[in-house]
Chains A and B, each alone.
Chain A
Amino acid sequence: MLNIKTIDDATVNQRVYQLNLGPQHPSTHGVMHLLVTLDGEVVIKIEPIIGYSHRGHEKMAENRIYEQFLPNPARMDYLSGMIFNHGYCMAVEKLCGIEVPRRAEYIRVITSELNRIASHFIGAMDYAMGLGAITPFLWGWDDREQILDLLEGIAGSRLTYSYGRFGGVRNDIDQAFYNGTRRFIDRLRGRFWDYENLINQNIIFIKRSKGVGVISKEDALTYGVTGPSLRGSGVKYDVRKNEPYSAYPEFNFEIPTREAGDCLARYQVRMAEIEQSLNIIEQALDHLPPGPVRSKVPRFVTPPEGECYLTFESARGAVGFYIVSDGSRIPYRIKVRAPSFSNLFAMTKICPGHFLADVIAIFGSIDVTVPEIDR
């Protein structure tokens, strides 16, 4: 029997009642089920019920060789697939002790940051759409489309890239990508003014997001919230700065933080991070080193016996890959620490006391990807 909770008979005929938000609901970014206990229109208790898009990626990894798992990480979080792909490659490289050429590291940083911008556009603009504004959503998709075209030019695919390989990346970037990225940076910098006026100054947007869903600093740390949601609560933590990996120590960038901790702060952190990502890409393009993009790696890697944990910053927070190897070509166990899972369950703490309409705002501002929660 399925263990799915539905409306409880005992609560019928009382003032307090339960409402199923989802699993098929347009504002839940996928198949997400929120069981909300309401008193009139005010939320008393909220319970996310997950598992609808569980595909068993971690179990799949135990039945295939390391190379065959390469397409899978991008399917966990499809909005930042490039970052996940590079992260898995970095974890296996750490386990095997494979050196990555400097040019490949730079290309990884450029593509990851482009992917982060695309993901933040979805996160921020989908949030605006959750509050009832359709125009910024389409504007954000217009800019995201430019990134997808750029990444398609080098990786060959638009969403699930499979671009990283052990010891580097699949192919080198060309002049068209180089010029296109420069053009994209100029174009996006010119459009920040429009976004500022279209959303940030909008009275409806501010009224619906200011002071709504405040995650305090202590709550954020208790629930293990990471990423823009944590930085919106005033904690200056970013894996790219605090535990540097890849070529990130070589770039100058800031970690934008906001003290408020409400939905507006999380939105502002995302938009500020887009600007920082543009800075990183510009620096990487300026100092792109020559050389090969892939080191010499055996056709099928055989890591030594042991285990490794690698953490990196995706668009949603700190992701961890824990790989246990028993010395064979097939991993013994791969565990993924998904940031959306921790971020989502902070909702159970902050939602009580808000209106039902604010639940949608909070859910959108935390910006979870449902397949990443379930994996």
Chain B
Amino acid sequence: MKTSNGFILYIQEILTGAKSLAVGLWITLKRLFSPIVTVQYPRKKLTMTPNFRGHIEAIRFDDTKTHHCVACGLCARICPSHVIKVQGEKTKAGDKKIGRHYVIDFSKCSHCGLCVDVCPEQTLKFSREYELVYYSRWDTVIDLMQRLEERP
């Protein structure tokens, strides 16, 4: 009596197990007829959201037709990786300082956005570039002011 009971349980287990596998395969099969969720990357590209954080860029303002950087160096001070270097000059004594060179090595940048937050003139923004591949490490060292002039 006991053995036959065990035998029935054994058969039941096999049947429920086979059923669970069939249900799992059915769910997998349903996937064939649902839309594709991946993006075929080199042929199709995603657009980045407005908040996307690439490397930083200087903003061109309409009133001065250039950036507002005063070379205060707060971004260089707050940068966790110390990759920012700012140089400015005064055109005449007693005048406001103007940023001339803003060099950043964004291969070491962690895109945390602290420099954008801390800027008192709000002249920094994030670029939307995400395909950052170069032949040399020195290609990742860019001058933001030069870049601003080159790209209208």
Q: Which residues of A contact B (CB under 8 A)?
A: 64-65, 67-72, 135, 142, 145, 152-157, 160, 162, 165, 170-171, 194, 197-198, 201-204, 299-300
CB of B72, distance to nearest CB on chain A (Å) = 11
* Residues in chain A near residue B111, CB distance under 8 A: 156-157, 162
> In the complex, which range does the number of interface residues on chain B fall in?
20 to 34
Contact between B51 and A155, CB atoms less than 8 A apart: yes
Contact between A197 and B28, CB atoms less than 8 A apart: no
Binds A, one of B1-9, B15-23, B97-105: B15-23
Q: Which among A64, A162, A171, A198 is the interface contact of B51 at CB below 8 angstroms?
A: A171
Contact between B126 and A71, CB atoms less than 8 A apart: no
Q: Is B118 an interface residue (CB 8 A)?
A: yes
Interface class of chain B by DSSP: helix
Asked whether A162 and B112 contact (CB < 8 A) given A152-B49, A156-B126, the answer is yes
Q: Is B113 an interface residue (CB 8 A)?
A: yes
Query: Which residue in chain B gives the minimum CB-CB distance to A133?
Result: B24
Contact between A299 and B110, CB atoms less than 8 A apart: no
Asked whether A170 and B28 contact (CB < 8 A) given A67-B78, A156-B52, the answer is no
Q: Is B74 an interface residue (CB 8 A)?
A: yes
* Residues in chain A near residue B78, CB distance under 8 A: 65, 67-68, 300
Known: A70-B112, A201-B20; 10 extra A-B contacts, CB below 8 A, are A67-B118, A68-B79, A70-B80, A72-B80, A135-B28, A197-B27, A202-B20, A202-B21, A203-B18, A203-B20
Contact between A156 and B17, CB atoms less than 8 A apart: no
* Residues in chain B near residue A69, CB distance under 8 A: 80
Query: Which residue in chain A gives the minimum CB-CB distance to B18?
Result: A203
* Residues in chain A near residue B133, CB distance under 8 A: none
In the complex, A162→B80 CA distance in Å?
12
In the complex, A299→B111 CA distance in Å?
19
Contact between B114 and A194, CB atoms less than 8 A apart: no
In the complex, A170→B114 CA distance in Å?
10
Q: Mark B90-134, 1 if CB is under 8 A from A, else 0.
A: 000000000000000000001111100110000000100000000
Q: Which residues of B contact A (CB under 8 A)?
A: 13, 16-18, 20-21, 23-24, 27-28, 37, 49, 51-53, 74, 78-80, 110-114, 117-118, 126
CB of B148, distance to nearest CB on chain A (Å) = 21
CB of B50, distance to nearest CB on chain A (Å) = 8
* Residues in chain B near residue A156, CB distance under 8 A: 49, 51-53, 111, 113, 126
Contact between A201 and B53, CB atoms less than 8 A apart: no
Q: Which among B17, B37, B74 is the interface contact of A203 at CB below 8 angstroms?
A: B17
Can you show 28 pairs from A to B with CB atoms below 8 A apart?
A67-B114, A68-B79, A68-B114, A71-B110, A135-B28, A145-B37, A152-B49, A152-B51, A154-B51, A155-B51, A155-B53, A156-B51, A156-B52, A156-B113, A156-B126, A162-B111, A165-B117, A197-B27, A198-B27, A201-B24, A202-B20, A203-B13, A203-B17, A203-B18, A203-B21, A204-B17, A299-B118, A300-B78
Contact between B16 and A203, CB atoms less than 8 A apart: yes
Asked whether A71 and B51 contact (CB < 8 A) given A135-B24, A142-B37, A157-B111, the answer is no
In the complex, A153→B48 CA distance in Å?
9
Contact between A197 and B37, CB atoms less than 8 A apart: no
Kindly list the 5 A-B residue pairs having the minimum CB-CB distance in the complex, ordered from nearest: A203-B17, A156-B53, A71-B112, A68-B80, A162-B112
In the complex, A298→B139 CA distance in Å?
36
In the complex, A67→B128 CA distance in Å?
24
Query: Which residue in chain A gives the minimum CB-CB distance to B80?
Result: A68
